[in-house]
Amino acid sequence: DQQRSLLLDISSRFSPPKGVKLSYGTSGYREDAALLESTVYRVGILAALRSLKTRAVIGLMITASHNKISDNGVKVADPSGGMLTQDWEPFADSLANTPDSHSLVQLIDAFVKRENIPLDGEQDAKVFLGRDTRPSGFSLLEAAKQGVASIVSAIATDMGVVTTPQLHWMVRARNKGLEASENNYYNQLSSSFRCLLELTPQGSRPSGTNNKLIVDGADGVGGEKLENLKGMLSGLHIEVRNSGDGLLNEGVGADYVQKEKIVPRGFGPAEVGVRCASLDGDADRLVYFLVQPNSNKIELVDGDKIMALFALFIQEQLSILNKSEDGTVNRPHQTRLGIVQTAYANGASTDYLKQLGLQVAFTPTGVKHLHEKAAEYDIGIYFEANGHGTILFSETYLCALEDTNNDLLSSSKGSEKQKAASRLLSVSKLINQAVGDALSGLLLVEAILQHMGWSIHRWNELYHDLPSRQLKVKVADRSAVVTTNAETVAVKPSGIQEAINAEIAKYPQGRSFIRPSGTEDVVRVYAEASTQEGADGLANSVAKLVD
């Protein structure tokens, strides 16, 4: 039939690279860009099929985030704007690895039948395409378009060069029946930011130089987008550096800053005392930092600390809102606020959050896991230490909050309660509900600092990080390491966990775990201890056990 011959015809132009096994990992496919054409083509097909199955718009993003410029990658956004459902990952894997057009057609045939996908041409499939600034993105975009075009009645819309969170946001907005252009995104962020600033308590706004923020754009797409956004903001002075003239991710960006704890290119002694932030290559990660005097080292304010700031602010608003007239907390109006971290969260951050009385849950690494867990609460906050995270508000909770705010607006406009409700609503609009977003996260950090009247130093003092060390070990087969309990315990190779425990026992406040990376061919080692020497020593001895 028509569909079959279309697929055979187009797919014969895209052959997978020989001898490479691809796998849809923590963040889709990621490889040397030269190896990816057929994979991106096939992910185009997958996105179109997913759109038919869900009867909604699907996103396809071409990026390799913080990885080097010669790499690229591709990932799919589901109708909610979140990551592709895990049920489809095995299909994604078989699709990418099947050797030729005939096996491809057979595979698709079988999957379409099994999933009951309406492939009769009666229903349109819609896929939004986006890419970051990598030079290879242009030809890979063509491959994605061909993939979508291989499904009868599927339409691809090119959103151009965008951040990963922008594309996810657009998919989510469109599926809610809203307008979903880049301008709509900027408008929503800037207007909710303005609302939050208007609700800042009198007298807490820091003045003068305190108000300047310098942002390292990783020489990627985020810097350029922040330049656009910043023109729409008042009450905040942002200077963007590394916004695309230098080499992407080379000595710059959130990943570099967080892992190396060294100033990014273009920052130096002149920035001592200034609030600085760093985005990653596709602007879905955000960290803050302070340049240390007389060295190229930085004081890192990581994803965990961003989360602590968000949690504190949300908790404060909830306690105002949920307090009854006699000062006690209204039980029926208790809001389920949940915090989600991974084993990489600094132990000091977990202690701090628990000491605030918050519920802290752990999931394996990878945004899809954190996101899913956070979605179980009325308000769920998740962050990875590396700066990827966001705040999720459940639909039910948001509706109730809208109602409460409307009631308060008519009964006691301008009261503390009403302001707290308004602030929470503004947060839900400012913070990207689809996926972690460095730009929206940055605006929320800035709004909260102004609300609290805090400098970055004050914020950084919320708690002190335990010294930590991350190492990676190249191994023949990383899948030899199998973990359980949110990756904190290694069940394979057998005996290794006992050996790790024996090392941990040698260090005060020692903690360490190993896990296979989902994005690189390595086993990662993490260690924490009361001193930096301890953390380094523990990481090194655990790495030796893996080797």
Query: Which residues are known binding-site members for substrate?
Result: 384-386, 515-519, 524
Does position 27 interact with ligand NG1 (CB under 6 A)? The reply is yes
- Rounded Cα gap, residues 496 and 515, in angstroms: 12
Does position 65 interact with ligand NG1 (CB under 6 A)? The reply is yes
- Rounded Cα gap, residues 337 and 153, in angstroms: 43
The correct pick among 139, 157, 211, 517 for binding ligand NG1 (CB under 6 A) is 517
Contact 289, 278 (CB under 8 A): yes
DSSP 8-state secondary structure symbol assigned to residue 452: H
**Contact range with ligand NG1 by CB under 6 A, out of 113-121, 212-220, 306-314, 515-523:** 515-523
- Rounded Cα gap, residues 62 and 68, in angstroms: 14
Kindly tell me which of 14 and 289 has the beta carbon lying closer to Zn ion: 289
Does position 280 interact with Zn ion (CB under 5 A)? The reply is yes
**Contact range with ligand NG1 by CB under 6 A, out of 87-95, 355-363, 487-495, 514-522:** 514-522
> 384 contacts which partner out of Zn ion, ligand NG1, none, CB within 5 to 8 A by kind?
ligand NG1
Kindly tell me which of 190 and 386 has the beta carbon lying closer to ligand NG1: 386
Q: How many residues does the chain have?
A: 547
Nearest by Cα to 74 from 132, 29, 32: 29
Contact 123, 33 (CB under 8 A): no
Contact 383, 528 (CB under 8 A): no
Q: State the minimum distance, in angstroms, from the CB of residue 25 to ligand NG1.
A: 7
The correct pick among 31, 93, 520, 536 for binding ligand NG1 (CB under 6 A) is 520
Phi, psi of 61 (to 5 degrees): -115, 130
Does position 282 interact with Zn ion (CB under 5 A)? The reply is yes
Residue type, 15: S
Beta-bridged to residue 125, according to DSSP, are: 154
231: Cβ contacts below 8 Å, ≥ 6 apart: none
Q: What secondary structure, in 3-state letters, does 341-367 show?
A: ECCCCCHHHHHHHHHCCCEEEECCCCH
Does position 382 interact with ligand NG1 (CB under 6 A)? The reply is no
Residue 348 half-sphere exposure, CB side, CA atoms within 13 Å? 16
Does position 472 interact with ligand NG1 (CB under 6 A)? The reply is no
Residue type, 116: N
Nearest by Cα to 229 from 438, 60, 422, 435: 438
Contact 37, 14 (CB under 8 A): yes
> 378 contacts which partner out of Zn ion, ligand NG1, none, CB within 5 to 8 A by kind?
none
Q: Which of residues 146-165 bind ligand NG1 (CB under 6 A)?
A: none
The correct pick among 23, 26, 54, 94 for binding ligand NG1 (CB under 6 A) is 26
**Contact range with ligand NG1 by CB under 6 A, out of 88-96, 153-161, 163-171, 511-519:** 511-519
Nearest residue relative to Zn ion (C-beta): 65
Does position 65 interact with Zn ion (CB under 5 A)? The reply is yes
> 365 contacts which partner out of Zn ion, ligand NG1, none, CB within 5 to 8 A by kind?
ligand NG1
Does position 200 interact with ligand NG1 (CB under 6 A)? The reply is no
**Contact range with ligand NG1 by CB under 6 A, out of 69-77, 391-399, 476-484, 513-521:** 513-521
Does position 468 interact with ligand NG1 (CB under 6 A)? The reply is no
> 282 contacts which partner out of ligand NG1, Zn ion, none, CB within 5 to 8 A by kind?
Zn ion
Q: State the minimum distance, in angstroms, from the CB of residue 128 to Zn ion.
A: 18
Kindly tell me which of 111 and 526 has the beta carbon lying closer to ligand NG1: 526
Catalytic one of 38, 65, 349, 440: 65
Query: Strands, E, within 367-408: which ranges?
Result: 379-383, 389-393
> 347 contacts which partner out of ligand NG1, Zn ion, none, CB within 5 to 8 A by kind?
none
Q: Give the interface size with ligand NG1 as a residue count (CB under 6 A).
A: 13
State CA 130 to chain mean position distance.
16
> 372 contacts which partner out of Zn ion, ligand NG1, none, CB within 5 to 8 A by kind?
none
Which H/E stretch holds residue 275? strand 275-279
- Rounded Cα gap, residues 180 and 188, in angstroms: 11
- What is the token pair recorded at 460? 């950084």
- Rounded Cα gap, residues 516 and 478, in angstroms: 5
Cα–Cα distances in Å, from 266 out to 69, 226, 331? 19, 17, 52
Does position 32 interact with ligand NG1 (CB under 6 A)? The reply is no
DSSP string, 24-89: -BBTBEEEEGGG-HHHHHHHHHHHHHHHHHHTS-EEEEE--TTS-TTEEEEEEE-TTSSBPPGGGH
**Contact range with ligand NG1 by CB under 6 A, out of 31-39, 107-115, 485-493, 519-527:** 519-527
Nearest by Cα to 288 from 369, 236, 215, 220: 215
Q: State the minimum distance, in angstroms, from the CB of residue 83 to ligand NG1.
A: 10
Q: Catalytic residue at 468?
A: no
Does position 132 interact with Zn ion (CB under 5 A)? The reply is no
By annotation, the residues acting in catalysis are 65
Binding site for ligand NG1 (CB under 6 A): 26-27, 65, 344, 365, 384, 386, 388, 517-520, 524
Binding site for Zn ion (CB under 5 A): 65, 280, 282, 284
